Chains A and B, each alone.
Chain A
Amino acid sequence: MNFSEVFKQSNQLCKVSPDGKYLATCVQYRLVVRDVTTLQILHLYTCLDQVMHLEWSSDSLFLLCAMYRRGLVQVWSLEQPDWHCKIDEGSIGLVASRWSPDGRHILNTTDFHLRITVWSLCTKAVSYIKYPKACQKGLDFSRDGCYMALAERRDCKDYVSVFVCDDWHLLRHFETETQDLAGVEWSPNGCVLAVWDSCLEYKVLFYSLDGRLLSSYSAYDWSLGIKSLTWSPSSQFLAIGSYDEKVRILNHITWKKMTELDHPATINNTKAVIYKEVERRRAAGTEDLSSHNLTIGSSLFNTQSKYEISPLPVQFPVVKPDPDRANPKVGVSSMAFSPDNRYLATRNDSMATVLWVWDMQRLCLLAVLEQTSAVRCFQWDPRRPRLALCTGNAKLYLWSPAGCVSVQVPSEGGFQVQSVSWHPNGDSLILLGKEQLCLCYMDTEDEEEEDTHTHTNTHTHTEQL
């Protein structure tokens, strides 16, 4: 495992191009495009204001930089660095901006979600979409990029509009039986649209591509409902995480619940492996103070940690949420399926230091990772069943069915990993700190189940950004 040098970034804006060749980062108002393997700067663009949102077009030829404060969007081309495009929303303001799947249209959501303006980069056409709904996930493109589902609200009623992304033709427009629609999501095969209600009512509706209601599912009444929702990559399962700390898996044939995955605070009897991160303070004097080790900065302050297998029964620390506050920190807020459909990783907010990994073949708990601090971000490798997670300290944690490992991220001055994201080919990881970023290149061999001593990459570049 090699780590690159640490670079500056702002606003956690660091995206790899869809073809995996380039890495774009923003530093204040400048956009830096690097080559992923050599990390050499290929292009440098200057925007008019601090960039709040950065997005690659689907063909990796263009970059979108949105500056919400000034209501501006700037588009840069990689092929022709001289090409420029600036979209000004005027006095109506800008709240969100994104590419369309074909990479030639830009959808701008105005202030107060008054409308969505569809700007075309090929023609002079401009389209407007009225009454978009401001909710958790009001807009979703299907995986193949053909259709777009948009949540709307008119006259205190929820509607869903399905557009054809080719020419923004309204294909279907139907009312949904929700009280307060919270989100829409296409299934990966693009044929089913899942629509869910806000947390005050547990309800998921399934609509077919042509707008027919296929089925609806509600687990219980009255208590707070759905917190998160995710499809499995094969569209076979839909995982619903709710405020009652359970994940319900529905199958795509009957749209009925297959099983409930519970996240209890104590585990007495399970076949799963429970890994507990144990910090190990290095006592000064017992390690060999070779010059090699001293170059790994602040080793006296960074503590090594490793995973130990906890014996049963196990008790996890629970943080009870404040009952007087809305959106309580309890329930399953993040879930992710592995790309081979075999594993599901979930996190319960009341036990934020614990990450649960479920086996989808047997529908049972496979592994539990208990960290020393709250899990901030976890993501599956796009190619293989390997999970990377971070907890806001200077370590990177990896889990695979073979075992799990904790890796110290080498850096001077401490680098707190806030989020991780994988490169599309699964060979490297991008670690984002508050103002920094670092790349981690994986070895092609399997990791061992012990501490791995990391050594810096032999890049001789020093960045002055």
Chain B
Amino acid sequence: MSPLRRSSQSSLLPLPMNRDPYMLSSFCTDENVSECLSYINQELSSIGLTPVCTESDGSSELNLVALLNSMHDLLQTHRRGLRAVEDMEVEQLKTNSNVDYLQLSNTRIKDTLELSKRENTGLLERERQLQIKVKSLQKCLKNEKDELQKLQNIIASRATQYNHDMKRKEREFNKLKERLNQLLVDKKEKKLTIEVLNYIGRPDGKRGLWKTEKTEQRHEGEMYKALLTDYDYRHKELLVENAELKKVLQHMKRDMGSILSLRKPVFKDGTHEEGLEQFGSAEEEFFDSSRESLDVSCEHAREKLTNSIRLQWREFKSHVERLDSQASFAQEGERANIDVIPRETHEEEMERLKLEIQQCRDFIQTQQQLLQQQLTSPFEEDAASLLNDCYILEEKERLKEEWEALEKKRKSFESERGNFTDAAIRLSHERKSFEEDRASWLKHQFLNFTPFTDQKKLQMSKSQSAISICKKR
């Protein structure tokens, strides 16, 4: 409190200290005492204190007691004000510290919130991953179950097959045992015999041979001969196939080479050199092929042929791709590449044609149907013809009416035309007469050109009348 007091005191002091001590009396001087008094009265009354001096008869007397009281009151108020300021400062400090504390806790809480949010997202992510894992595991489980089921089915079918076979074998075994028993019991055994009236000759008429080693070797030899002939035959077929395929490859190579060389002049700028290169390589290939045809069976030549075809095929492919890109580029841009028909217009054309064909087909079909209808109703012919006649009659009537109307119109047009021609003739006549009049009048005017006014007036009146007539016309 004492430092505050001091500070309040110190706060007191600046008030008067600001001003020059000699200036204290600047408010009130000898001259404006009464004014100052009245002013102070006013101020005091406005504050709520008793006025200092009472006004009586124009001369203001200074009430010392009142003045001291009001001074004391003022001092009290001042002190109270200082104390209030002190308190308020204390309050302010307190609130400042509170605010600081709150801000601190706020940031702390925000941090914790941030942390917990992050934890939450992390947990959600984990949960999602776990769910995915669960799903995949479930799928695996289902697959395993299906496979298990399948294997069980297989086992079951195999088991039934085994059982069936076992039963069959057991039955046969039992039959065998029975037969054995029967044979053991049955003493007289029926021997196997053959009764032939006479033995017949062999199919090829030759005599039978004894089984000797020579015959065995002969059989072996025949067997190997059969095998070898079969291999020979297959080998020949494969050779023929090989030769054909090689021929086809050579043809392909030749065709590809010719196509690539033909395309050379069509190439634009950047591709020109490539075209030359290809042509050069094609020439090289041509030269090689003649050599290759000589040693067809050589492994090296075969490899060379396949490699060269592969290279050419690659070039061909790149060339076709280039053409494709060129075609699409030509569509986008506006250069009309005559050689390359853009695919879309081609397709559009095709669609249009197809539609046309379909329409034509429908039309033909409906026509055929109608025709069929007409042909396949024999007993309705009379009625149909009658009906047809009716329709035709109506049309005929309508046609007649229209014809008459047309005739009438034609006649009216003709009359009008006649009128017009007459009017035109008349107009031409009148024009001619008018022209003649004008010419005569001008001549007249020209010839009778005099300075005399009455004559002029006369003529003026004449000319006026002529002019008015002209105008009327």
Q: Which residues of A come within 8 Å of B, CB atoms? A: 58-59, 77, 82-93, 102-104, 111-112, 117, 119, 121-124, 126, 146-147, 164, 166-167, 169, 171, 189-191, 199-200, 208-210, 222-224, 253, 323-328
Contacts and interface: CB of A to CB of B under 8 A. Distances in A.
A169 B219 contact: yes
B290 interface: no
11 contacts: A84-B197, A85-B194, A90-B190, A90-B192, A91-B190, A103-B203, A117-B192, A119-B194, A164-B222, A190-B226, A224-B161
Interface stretch (B20-28, B46-54, B172-180, B449-457): B172-180
Given A82-B197, A91-B186, A208 B176 contact: no
Given A90-B189, A91-B186, A200-B158, A189 B202 contact: no
A132 to B, nearest CB: 14
B343 interface: no
Contact of A89 (B183, B192, B198): B192
B181 to A, nearest CB: 13
Contacts of A253: 234, 238
Contact of B154 (A58, A77, A82, A222): A222
A169 B211 contact: yes
Contact of B200 (A122, A167, A169, A326): A122
Nearest to B211: A167
A147 B227 CA distance: 13
B209 to A, nearest CB: 7
Contacts of B191: 90
A176 to B, nearest CB: 19
8 nearest A-B residue pairs (beta carbon)? A326-B164, A90-B190, A90-B192, A191-B230, A85-B196, A86-B195, A164-B219, A91-B190
Residue of A88, A102, A326 with most chain B CB atoms under a 10 A cut-off: A326
Given A169-B215, A323-B157, A210 B227 contact: yes
B156 interface: yes
Interface string B129-164: 000000000000000000000010110111011111
B58 interface: no
A204 B207 CA distance: 40
A252 to B, nearest CB: 8
B329 interface: no
Contacts of B199: 121-124
B200 A146 contact: no
Which secondary structure dominates where chain A touches chain B? loop
B201 to A, nearest CB: 6
Contact of A171 (B175, B220, B230): B220
Interface residues of B, number: 48
A209 B189 CA distance: 41
Contact of A209 (B156, B161, B211, B223): B223
A170 B326 CA distance: 74
A326 B193 contact: no
Nearest to A119: B194
Interface in B195-250: 195-203, 208-209, 211, 215-216, 219-220, 222-224, 226-227, 230, 234, 238
Contacts of A85: 194-197
A328 B157 contact: yes
A326 B166 CA distance: 11
A122 B194 CA distance: 12
A253 B215 CA distance: 32
B192 A88 contact: yes
Contacts of B165: 326
B194 A83 contact: no
A121 B201 CA distance: 8
Contacts of B222: 146, 164
Contacts of A102: 202-203
Given A86-B196, A169-B216, A209-B223, 17 more contacts: A84-B196, A88-B193, A88-B194, A104-B202, A104-B203, A112-B172, A119-B194, A122-B201, A126-B194, A167-B215, A190-B230, A191-B227, A199-B161, A222-B158, A253-B234, A326-B161, A328-B157
A327 B164 contact: yes
Given A103-B203, A111-B179, A222-B151, A210 B161 contact: no
Contacts of A326: 160-161, 163-165
A191 B197 CA distance: 38
Nearest to B216: A169
Given A112-B175, A167-B215, A223-B154, A325 B192 contact: no
Contacts of B186: 91
A137 to B, nearest CB: 17
Given A167-B215, A189-B230, A104 B223 contact: no
Residue of B154, B162, B230 with most chain A CB atoms under a 10 A cut-off: B230
B96 to A, nearest CB: 84
A189 B229 CA distance: 11
Nearest to B158: A200
B194 A87 contact: yes
A123 B200 CA distance: 8
Given A122-B202, A171-B220, A327 B161 contact: yes
A200 B161 contact: yes
Contact of A210 (B156, B172, B203, B224): B224
Contact of A92 (B161, B175, B192, B223): B192
Contacts of B208: 122-123, 167
B270 to A, nearest CB: 44
Contacts of B196: 84-86, 121
A336 to B, nearest CB: 24
A325 B160 contact: yes
Residue of A83, A122, A327, A328 with most chain B CB atoms under a 10 A cut-off: A122
B197 A171 contact: no
Nearest to A75: B196
A102 B160 CA distance: 42
A448 to B, nearest CB: 24
Nearest to B202: A122
A217 to B, nearest CB: 19
A253 B153 CA distance: 36
Nearest to B228: A191
A111 B173 CA distance: 12
Contacts of A123: 199, 208
Contacts of B175: 112
Contacts of A169: 211, 215-216, 219
A220 to B, nearest CB: 10
A323 B151 CA distance: 14
Nearest to B175: A112
Nearest to B220: A171
Contacts of B203: 58-59, 102-104
A91 B156 CA distance: 41
Contacts of A117: 192
A245 B189 CA distance: 50
B160 A324 contact: yes
A164 B223 CA distance: 9
Contacts of B183: 91
A341 to B, nearest CB: 14
A82 B196 CA distance: 11
A170 to B, nearest CB: 9
B162 to A, nearest CB: 7
Contacts of B197: 82-85
Contacts of B194: 85-88, 119, 126
Contacts of A164: 219, 222-223
B227 A209 contact: yes
A129 to B, nearest CB: 14
A174 to B, nearest CB: 14
A91 B234 CA distance: 50
A404 to B, nearest CB: 28
A166 B158 CA distance: 42
Nearest to A208: B227
A101 to B, nearest CB: 10
A297 B391 CA distance: 55
Nearest to A168: B211
A88 B190 contact: yes
A169 B220 CA distance: 10
A325 B157 CA distance: 8
